[in-house]
């Protein structure tokens, strides 16, 4: 009798082991290994040996066609996917529970259905009545969306193969789906992988676009959608902070489009509203005239985006001062602080430093260095920065300000929002030309961090306790 081999799969990263162990060697998480029965045979992998079918090998040159796309009717969503859903592609929409994935997708499905396309929404989490209730609240009841509450992938595929193939299928969520071909319980890594594999094959075969919803859990109890990331064509991450209204949709991976575009939404009482001009939103609650805030003219993909960077520098009572960052890179902050200390005589060793990007936005650009440094110095020197100025530029370890890309777009967006001054790298002087010419008149060029620090310190009255540190450059 053949002995059944047991496998233990990490519910966090999907690594499999022959025996149980407390810690996953692959991702380092504890207590994430779960017994998943016999090693699941890859569905469809027939054991009978067959003769290979011959196929043609093609040259690189030849007919090439753009992937046919289906615009969702929601401009912010289409911006992130790169122009709409590609036929036969599978997209993973990942995000924390409660962030608004179901809301966004029922809105997208309804928009498509209203445009006359066959759009199907399968919920494995909510009953049909619940989804209807939500649709009613969102004012979408009249949209001819086809709705079901199902979790068996075989049944779903059999049903959807009937009649006209839908253009868009939403599966909410992949963690609730299960297939007969895998023995383990729904929600485990093997089930998630098996169900995703079947749905991906169905998408490729039928030409339907499928969106899989995936919950990200921190504790690893439910299979993270990590295992699915490698299998799908695109991964969109839906982010936001509970306390904020803004939701940001970001492409993490995209086989058919760019990965640096973001879509911005606002959660309202009647669903997600698209925010066409995010800068206005992110700057709407500015606290004018207080020290420690600087407006950063950033870029997200092809779109300029203005956000406020807030810094608080306060005397510390700890041996090792605190450095806390929200929305920016901690090591980037450490670098800026080091450059300020080494080249500009700004001593921050005795101070706690807090840095926050307003509105729940997350910045990845090195161009934010200059704005962060300006906010830090402004807080330390207790001198508010001019309310009508924006900052951008990368700081090098030598204390020089390095130029960044897209200077004209950044300047134009700033001018559009009423800013009259921009503190920019010296080297951008030649680049601003052309259509940014008028905007470039607002630019104040800085060559080194030292001169920026001197300018800021000259603006205001130093605090009592900061006087000996920051006043020296003025
Ligand atoms: P949901 O789409 O269910 O999140 P997910 O599918 O990602 O788990 O959104 C749930 C949250 O959104 C919930 O906290 C309530 C809020 N919400 C609104 O604020 N307005 C609305 O119109 C809707 C439908 C939800
Ligand atoms: Mg949901």
User: Would you list the DSSP string of 210-237?
Assistant: EEEEEE--SS-SSPPTHHHHTTSSEEEE
- Taking the C-alpha atoms of residue 295 and residue 282, their distance in angstroms, rounded to an integer, is 10
**Closest ligand 1 atom number to CA of residue 125:** 6
The whole-number pLDDT of residue 461 equals 57
Q: Distance from the CA of 212 to the center of ligand 2, in angstroms?
A: 11
* Distance from Cα 102 to the centre of ligand 2, integer Å: 4
Residue with token string 């309804």: 110
Structural domain includes residue 146: yes
Atom of ligand 1 nearest to the CA of 99: 7
Same domain, 85 and 14: no
Q: How far is the CA of 459 from the centre of ligand 1 (A)?
A: 46
99 shares its domain with 147: yes
**Which residue matches tokens 């569905």?**
43
Asked if the structure places residue 75 within a domain, the reply is yes
Gap between the Cα atoms of 214 and 445, Å rounded: 46
Ligand 1 pocket mutation, candidates 100, 131, 217, 249, criterion most atoms within 8 A of CB:
100
| Domains of the chain: total | 3
**Protein residue closest via CA to atom 16 of ligand 1:** 100
Q: Is residue 28 part of a domain?
A: yes
Whether 165 contacts 132, CB under 8 Å: no
Say yes or no: 13 and 76 in one domain: no
Assigned domain for 393 exists? yes
Domain final position from 227, 258, 276? 276
Using CA atoms, how far residue 325 sits from 281, 328, 403, in Å, is 22, 6, 24
Structure-token match 């960044």, residue found = 404
Whole-model pTM: value is 0.77
Q: Which atom of ligand 1 is nearest to the CA of 106?
A: 2
Phi, then psi, of 372 in degrees rounded to 5 = -65, -45
Rounded CA-CA distance 424/410 in Å is 10
pLDDT (0 to 100) of residue 220: 43
Of the residues 240, 256, 276, which one is the last residue of a structural domain?
276
132 — phi, psi (to 5°)?
Answer: -60, -40
Centre of ligand 2 to C-alpha 126, Å, is 8
Structure tokens at 407: 């200077």
Q: Residue 276, exposed/middle/buried by CB under 10 A (0-12, 13-18, 19+)?
A: exposed
* Rounded Cα–Cα distance for residues 455 and 230 (Å): 50
For 399, the domain range is 281-458
Other Cβ atoms closer than 10 A to 172: 26
State the pairing for strand pair 421-425/389-391.
Answer: parallel
Is residue 20 within 8 Å of 11, Cβ to Cβ?
A: no
Residues 110 and 183 in one domain: yes
**Over the range 46-82, which residues count as b (16 or more CB within 10 Å of their CB) and which as e?**
eeeeeeeeeeeeeeeeeeeeebebbebbbebbbbbbb
248 and 317 in a single domain? The answer is no
In a domain, 243, yes or no: yes
Residue nearest to atom 25 of ligand 1 (CA): 271
* 190: in domain: yes
Closest residue (by CA) to atom 13 of ligand 1?
98
What are the pocket residues of ligand 1 if the criterion is a CB atom closer than 6 Å to any ligand atom?
95, 97-103, 134, 137-138, 267, 269-271
Give the pLDDT confidence score for residue 361 in this predicted structure.
83
| Residues whose CB is less than 8 angstroms from the CB of residue 472 and which lie 6 or more positions away in sequence, other chains included | 345
Find residue 248's DSSP bridge partners. Answer: 239, 264
Which ligand ends up closest to the CA of 175? Answer: 2
> What is the three-class DSSP state of 440?
helix
- Give the integer Cα–Cα distance in Å for 161 and 156: 9
Query: Do 8 and 81 belong together in one domain?
Result: no
Protein residue with its CA nearest to atom 8 in ligand 1: 98
> 382 and 430: one domain?
yes
- Partnered with residue 249 across adjacent β-strands are 238, 263
Q: How many residues does the chain have?
A: 474
The predicted pLDDT at position 106 comes to: 95
Nearest CA to ligand 1 atom 10: 98
pLDDT of 394: 94
> Which parts of 345-416 fold into alpha helices (H)?
369-381, 407-416
> Angle, to 10 degrees, between the axis of helix 449-459 and the axis of helix 369-381?
40
Give the nearest ligand 1 atom to 238 CA.
7
Residue the block writes with tokens 């529970």: 97
Do 112 and 198 lie in a common domain? Answer: yes
CA of 235 to the centre of ligand 2 (A): 17
Which atom of ligand 1 is nearest the CA belonging to 137?
22
Domain boundary among 276, 294, 326: 276
Answer yes or no: is 464 within a domain.
no
Cis, bond preceding 402 (omega within 30 deg of 0): no
**Distance of alpha carbon 434 from alpha carbon 439, whole angstroms:** 10
Q: Ligand 1 atom closest to Cα of 96?
A: 7
pLDDT of res. 6: 76
User: Which residue is closest in CA terms to ligand 1's atom 11?
Assistant: 98
| Same domain membership, residue 315 and residue 243 | no
CA 136 – CA 215 distance, rounded (Å): 24
Token pair of 471 as six digits: 């006043």
* Ligand 1 mean position, distance from CA 357 (Å): 24
Q: 73 C-alpha to center of ligand 1: Å? A: 20
Question: Helical H runs in 319-448?
Answer: 330-344, 369-381, 407-416, 437-440
> Average pLDDT of each block of 10 consecutive residues along the chain (474 residues)?
70 83 86 70 55 86 77 89 91 90 94 93 94 93 94 94 92 91 84 92 94 76 69 90 80 85 88 86 78 92 89 91 92 94 92 90 90 94 91 93 89 87 84 56 86 84 47 40
């Amino acid at each position: 009798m053949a002995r059944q081999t047991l496998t233990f799969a990490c519910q966090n990263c999907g690594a499999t082991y022959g025996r149980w162990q407390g810690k996953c060697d692959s991702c380092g998480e504890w207590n994430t290994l779960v017994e998943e029965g016999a090693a699941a045979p890859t569905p469809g992998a027939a054991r009978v040996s067959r003769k290979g079918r011959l196929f043609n090998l093609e040259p690189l040159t030849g007919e090439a066609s753009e992937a046919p796309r289906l615009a969702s009717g929601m401009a912010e969503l289409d911006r992130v996917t790169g122009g709409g859903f590609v036929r036969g592609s599978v997209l993973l929409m990942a995000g924390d529970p409660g962030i608004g994935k179901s809301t966004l997708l029922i809105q997208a499905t309804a928009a498509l259905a209203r445009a006359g396309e066959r759009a199907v929404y399968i919920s494995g989490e909510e009953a049909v009545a619940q989804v209807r209730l939500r649709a009613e609240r969102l004012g979408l009841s009249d949209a001819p969306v086809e709705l079901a509450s199902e979790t068996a992938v075989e049944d779903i595929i059999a049903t959807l193969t009937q009649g006209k193939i839908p253009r868009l299928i939403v599966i909410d969520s992949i963690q609730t789906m299960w297939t007969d071909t895998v023995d383990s319980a729904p929600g485990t890594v093997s089930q998630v992988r098996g169900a995703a594999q079947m749905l991906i094959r169905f998408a490729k075969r039928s030409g339907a676009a499928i969106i899989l919803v995936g919950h990200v859990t921190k504790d690893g109890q439910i299979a993270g959608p990590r295992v699915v990331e490698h299998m799908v064509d695109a991964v969109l991450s839906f982010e936001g902070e509970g306390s904020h209204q803004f939701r940001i949709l970001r492409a993490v991976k995209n086989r058919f489009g760019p990965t640096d575009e973001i879509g911005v939404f606002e959660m309202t009482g009647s669903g997600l509203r698209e925010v066409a001009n995010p800068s206005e939103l992110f700057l709407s609650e500015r606290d004018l005239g207080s020290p420690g805030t600087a407006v950063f003219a950033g870029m997200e993909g092809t779109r300029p985006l203005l956000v406020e960077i807030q810094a608080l520098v306060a005397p510390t009572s700890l041996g090792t001062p605190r450095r806390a960052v929200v929305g920016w890179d901690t090591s980037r902050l450490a670098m800026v602080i080091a450059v300020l200390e080494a080249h500009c005589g700004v001593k921050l060793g005795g101070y706690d430093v807090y840095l926050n990007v307003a509105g729940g936005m997350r910045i990845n650009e090195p161009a934010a260095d200059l704005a962060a440094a300006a906010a830090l110095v402004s807080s330390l020197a207790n001198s508010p920065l001019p309310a009508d100025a924006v900052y951008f530029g990368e700081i090098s370890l030598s204390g020089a300000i390095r130029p960044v890309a897209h200077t004209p777009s950044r300047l134009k967006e700033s001018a559009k929002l009423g800013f009259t001054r921009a503190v920019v790298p010296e080297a951008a002087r030649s680049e601003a030309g052309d259509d940014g010419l008028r905007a470039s008149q607002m630019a104040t060029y800085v060559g080194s961090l030292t001169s920026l620090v001197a300018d800021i310190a000259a603006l205001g009255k130093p605090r009592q306790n900061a006087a000996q540190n920051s006043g020296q450059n003025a």
